[in-house]
Protein backbone atom coordinates (compact mmCIF):
# COMPACT_ATOMS: atom_id res chain seq x y z
CA UNK A 1 0.00 0.00 0.00
CA UNK A 2 2.94 2.39 0.32
CA UNK A 3 2.88 2.66 -3.51
CA UNK A 4 -0.90 3.13 -3.79
CA UNK A 5 -2.49 5.98 -5.76
CA UNK A 6 -4.23 6.82 -9.02
CA UNK A 7 -1.19 6.16 -11.22
CA UNK A 8 -0.89 2.91 -13.17
CA UNK A 9 1.71 1.55 -10.76
CA UNK A 10 -0.39 2.72 -7.83
CA UNK A 11 -3.41 0.82 -9.13
CA UNK A 12 -1.34 -2.36 -9.57
CA UNK A 13 0.01 -2.02 -6.03
CA UNK A 14 -3.53 -1.61 -4.70
CA UNK A 15 -4.69 -4.74 -6.53
CA UNK A 16 -1.89 -6.76 -4.93
CA UNK A 17 -2.66 -5.38 -1.46
CA UNK A 18 -6.38 -6.05 -1.81
CA UNK A 19 -5.74 -9.61 -3.03
CA UNK A 20 -4.87 -10.67 0.51
CA UNK A 21 -7.60 -8.66 2.26
CA UNK A 22 -11.28 -9.34 2.95
CA UNK A 23 -13.80 -7.62 0.63
CA UNK A 24 -16.00 -4.58 1.16
CA UNK A 25 -15.48 -2.77 4.49
CA UNK A 26 -12.84 -5.29 5.44
CA UNK A 27 -10.42 -3.31 3.26
CA UNK A 28 -10.96 -0.02 5.08
CA UNK A 29 -7.85 -0.61 7.21
CA UNK A 30 -5.66 -0.47 4.08
CA UNK A 31 -6.31 3.28 3.82
CA UNK A 32 -4.25 3.81 6.98
CA UNK A 33 -1.00 2.56 5.44
CA UNK A 34 -0.51 5.39 2.96
CA UNK A 35 -1.54 9.04 2.91
CA UNK A 36 -2.95 8.37 -0.58
CA UNK A 37 -5.42 6.00 1.05
CA UNK A 38 -7.19 3.12 -0.67
CA UNK A 39 -8.91 3.60 -4.03
CA UNK A 40 -10.43 0.36 -5.29
CA UNK A 41 -9.07 -0.87 -8.63
CA UNK A 42 -12.69 -1.10 -9.82
CA UNK A 43 -13.46 2.54 -8.95
CA UNK A 44 -13.77 4.88 -11.95
CA UNK A 45 -12.30 8.37 -11.59
CA UNK A 46 -12.79 10.81 -14.48
CA UNK A 47 -12.22 14.27 -13.06
CA UNK A 48 -9.38 16.66 -13.86
CA UNK A 49 -10.10 18.88 -10.85
CA UNK A 50 -9.98 16.35 -8.02
CA UNK A 51 -8.52 17.05 -4.58
CA UNK A 52 -8.15 14.10 -2.23
CA UNK A 53 -7.34 14.28 1.47
CA UNK A 54 -5.10 11.84 3.29
CA UNK A 55 -6.12 8.26 4.09
CA UNK A 56 -9.37 8.22 2.14
CA UNK A 57 -11.24 5.02 1.28
CA UNK A 58 -13.04 4.70 -2.06
CA UNK A 59 -14.76 1.35 -2.48
CA UNK A 60 -15.61 -0.95 -5.36
CA UNK A 61 -17.34 0.51 -8.43
CA UNK A 62 -17.53 4.02 -7.02
CA UNK A 63 -17.72 6.60 -9.84
CA UNK A 64 -16.36 10.14 -9.65
CA UNK A 65 -17.26 11.89 -12.90
CA UNK A 66 -16.87 15.44 -14.16
CA UNK A 67 -19.15 16.40 -17.03
CA UNK A 68 -18.64 19.37 -19.35
CA UNK A 69 -18.12 22.66 -17.49
CA UNK A 70 -18.29 20.87 -14.16
CA UNK A 71 -16.52 22.27 -11.14
CA UNK A 72 -14.15 20.47 -8.83
CA UNK A 73 -14.48 17.54 -6.46
CA UNK A 74 -12.86 17.94 -3.04
CA UNK A 75 -12.76 15.05 -0.60
CA UNK A 76 -11.38 15.58 2.91
CA UNK A 77 -9.13 13.31 4.94
CA UNK A 78 -10.29 9.99 6.41
CA UNK A 79 -13.43 9.99 4.23
CA UNK A 80 -15.01 6.64 3.34
CA UNK A 81 -17.13 6.24 0.19
CA UNK A 82 -18.45 2.71 -0.11
CA UNK A 83 -19.48 0.53 -3.03
CA UNK A 84 -21.48 1.73 -6.05
CA UNK A 85 -21.87 5.36 -5.00
CA UNK A 86 -21.75 8.02 -7.74
CA UNK A 87 -20.42 11.57 -7.52
CA UNK A 88 -21.14 13.60 -10.65
CA UNK A 89 -20.47 17.30 -11.29
CA UNK A 90 -21.52 19.39 -14.28
CA UNK A 91 -22.90 22.72 -15.44
CA UNK A 92 -20.72 24.66 -13.02
CA UNK A 93 -21.69 22.55 -10.00
CA UNK A 94 -19.11 21.20 -7.58
CA UNK A 95 -18.84 18.70 -4.74
CA UNK A 96 -17.13 19.21 -1.37
CA UNK A 97 -16.99 16.76 1.51
CA UNK A 98 -15.35 17.34 4.89
CA UNK A 99 -13.08 15.17 7.03
CA UNK A 100 -14.15 11.88 8.66
CA UNK A 101 -17.44 11.58 6.76
CA UNK A 102 -18.81 8.16 5.78
CA UNK A 103 -20.97 7.51 2.72
CA UNK A 104 -22.56 4.06 2.61
CA UNK A 105 -23.26 2.12 -0.62
CA UNK A 106 -25.45 3.17 -3.57
CA UNK A 107 -25.63 6.91 -2.84
CA UNK A 108 -26.10 9.43 -5.67
CA UNK A 109 -24.65 12.97 -5.71
CA UNK A 110 -25.63 14.92 -8.85
CA UNK A 111 -23.96 18.32 -8.46
CA UNK A 112 -25.33 20.11 -11.54
CA UNK A 113 -25.60 23.91 -11.45
CA UNK A 114 -25.53 24.01 -7.64
CA UNK A 115 -22.85 22.84 -5.24
CA UNK A 116 -23.24 19.93 -2.85
CA UNK A 117 -21.31 20.74 0.33
CA UNK A 118 -21.09 18.10 3.06
CA UNK A 119 -19.44 18.83 6.39
CA UNK A 120 -17.23 16.82 8.73
CA UNK A 121 -18.23 13.69 10.70
CA UNK A 122 -21.39 13.18 8.63
CA UNK A 123 -22.99 9.73 8.44
CA UNK A 124 -24.91 9.00 5.22
CA UNK A 125 -26.79 5.69 5.03
CA UNK A 126 -27.21 3.65 1.83
CA UNK A 127 -29.28 4.82 -1.15
CA UNK A 128 -29.42 8.51 -0.27
CA UNK A 129 -29.71 10.99 -3.15
CA UNK A 130 -28.82 14.68 -3.50
CA UNK A 131 -30.12 16.95 -6.29
CA UNK A 132 -29.15 20.66 -6.14
CA UNK A 133 -31.08 21.57 -9.31
CA UNK A 134 -34.44 21.35 -11.05
CA UNK A 135 -35.66 21.21 -14.64
CA UNK A 136 -37.76 24.07 -15.91
CA UNK A 137 -41.45 23.19 -16.28
CA UNK A 138 -42.71 25.80 -18.75
CA UNK A 139 -45.72 24.34 -20.62
CA UNK A 140 -45.50 23.60 -24.33
CA UNK A 141 -41.90 22.36 -24.22
CA UNK A 142 -40.41 18.95 -23.59
CA UNK A 143 -39.02 18.68 -20.05
CA UNK A 144 -35.78 17.22 -21.37
CA UNK A 145 -35.21 20.34 -23.50
CA UNK A 146 -35.82 22.85 -20.73
CA UNK A 147 -32.89 24.42 -18.86
CA UNK A 148 -31.97 23.28 -15.39
CA UNK A 149 -31.94 25.82 -12.58
CA UNK A 150 -30.77 25.97 -8.98
CA UNK A 151 -31.80 27.76 -5.79
CA UNK A 152 -28.26 27.73 -4.48
CA UNK A 153 -27.27 24.12 -3.92
CA UNK A 154 -27.27 21.83 -0.90
CA UNK A 155 -25.42 22.21 2.40
CA UNK A 156 -25.13 19.41 4.94
CA UNK A 157 -23.47 20.77 8.08
CA UNK A 158 -21.21 18.87 10.50
CA UNK A 159 -22.23 15.82 12.55
CA UNK A 160 -25.41 15.09 10.58
CA UNK A 161 -26.93 11.62 10.28
CA UNK A 162 -29.05 10.79 7.22
CA UNK A 163 -31.00 7.52 7.39
CA UNK A 164 -31.55 4.98 4.62
CA UNK A 165 -32.95 6.36 1.39
CA UNK A 166 -33.10 10.06 2.31
CA UNK A 167 -33.54 12.47 -0.64
CA UNK A 168 -32.24 16.04 -0.29
CA UNK A 169 -33.49 18.59 -2.82
CA UNK A 170 -32.25 21.91 -4.13
CA UNK A 171 -31.83 24.93 -1.87
CA UNK A 172 -31.73 22.96 1.39
CA UNK A 173 -29.44 23.41 4.39
CA UNK A 174 -29.42 20.68 7.05
CA UNK A 175 -28.00 22.12 10.27
CA UNK A 176 -25.31 20.88 12.62
CA UNK A 177 -26.15 17.70 14.50
CA UNK A 178 -29.47 17.13 12.71
CA UNK A 179 -30.91 13.64 12.18
CA UNK A 180 -33.08 12.78 9.15
CA UNK A 181 -35.15 9.59 9.36
CA UNK A 182 -35.11 6.85 6.74
CA UNK A 183 -37.01 7.59 3.52
CA UNK A 184 -37.50 11.30 4.22
CA UNK A 185 -37.62 13.88 1.41
CA UNK A 186 -36.00 17.12 2.57
CA UNK A 187 -37.28 20.13 0.58
CA UNK A 188 -36.72 22.90 3.15
CA UNK A 189 -34.07 23.88 5.70
CA UNK A 190 -33.67 21.80 8.85
CA UNK A 191 -32.29 23.65 11.91
CA UNK A 192 -29.39 22.52 14.10
CA UNK A 193 -30.03 19.44 16.27
CA UNK A 194 -33.47 18.76 14.80
CA UNK A 195 -34.85 15.28 14.15
CA UNK A 196 -36.99 15.22 11.00
CA UNK A 197 -38.94 12.43 9.28
CA UNK A 198 -41.50 11.96 6.53
CA UNK A 199 -42.42 13.15 3.03
CA UNK A 200 -41.88 16.03 3.04
CA UNK A 201 -39.62 15.98 6.08
CA UNK A 202 -41.14 17.45 9.26
CA UNK A 203 -39.45 18.10 12.57
CA UNK A 204 -40.67 15.81 15.35
CA UNK A 205 -38.10 16.49 18.07
CA UNK A 206 -35.06 18.58 19.00
CA UNK A 207 -31.96 16.76 20.22
CA UNK A 208 -31.01 19.57 22.59
CA UNK A 209 -34.36 19.71 24.38
CA UNK A 210 -35.59 22.98 22.83
CA UNK A 211 -39.38 23.06 22.52
CA UNK A 212 -40.33 21.71 19.08
CA UNK A 213 -43.25 24.07 18.49
CA UNK A 214 -41.10 27.14 19.06
CA UNK A 215 -38.67 25.91 16.43
CA UNK A 216 -41.40 25.08 13.94
CA UNK A 217 -42.85 28.58 14.14
CA UNK A 218 -39.58 29.85 12.67
CA UNK A 219 -40.02 27.77 9.52
CA UNK A 220 -42.32 29.40 6.92
CA UNK A 221 -43.39 26.04 5.50
CA UNK A 222 -45.42 25.32 8.64
CA UNK A 223 -48.59 27.10 9.77
CA UNK A 224 -50.53 27.04 13.02
CA UNK A 225 -52.95 24.37 11.84
CA UNK A 226 -50.10 22.01 10.96
CA UNK A 227 -48.37 22.30 14.32
CA UNK A 228 -51.43 22.39 16.61
Choice among 102, 106, 135, 188 that is catalytic:
135
- Residues near 208 by beta carbon (within 8 Å), at least 6 away in sequence: 177, 192, 193
- Residues near 14 by beta carbon (within 8 Å), at least 6 away in sequence: 1, 4, 30, 38, 39, 40, 41
135 in catalytic set: yes
- Residues near 104 by beta carbon (within 8 Å), at least 6 away in sequence: 82, 85, 124, 125, 126, 128
- 127-145 burial code (b ≥16 CB/10 A, e <16): bbbbbbbbeeeeeeeeeee
Active site residues: 135
Amino acid sequence: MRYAGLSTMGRIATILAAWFSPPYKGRRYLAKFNKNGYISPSASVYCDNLKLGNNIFIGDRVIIYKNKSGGGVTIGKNVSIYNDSIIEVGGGGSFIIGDNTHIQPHCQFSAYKGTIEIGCNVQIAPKCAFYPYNHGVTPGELIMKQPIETKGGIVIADNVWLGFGVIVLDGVRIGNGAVIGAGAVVNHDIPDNAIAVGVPARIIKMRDGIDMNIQLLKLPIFNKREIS
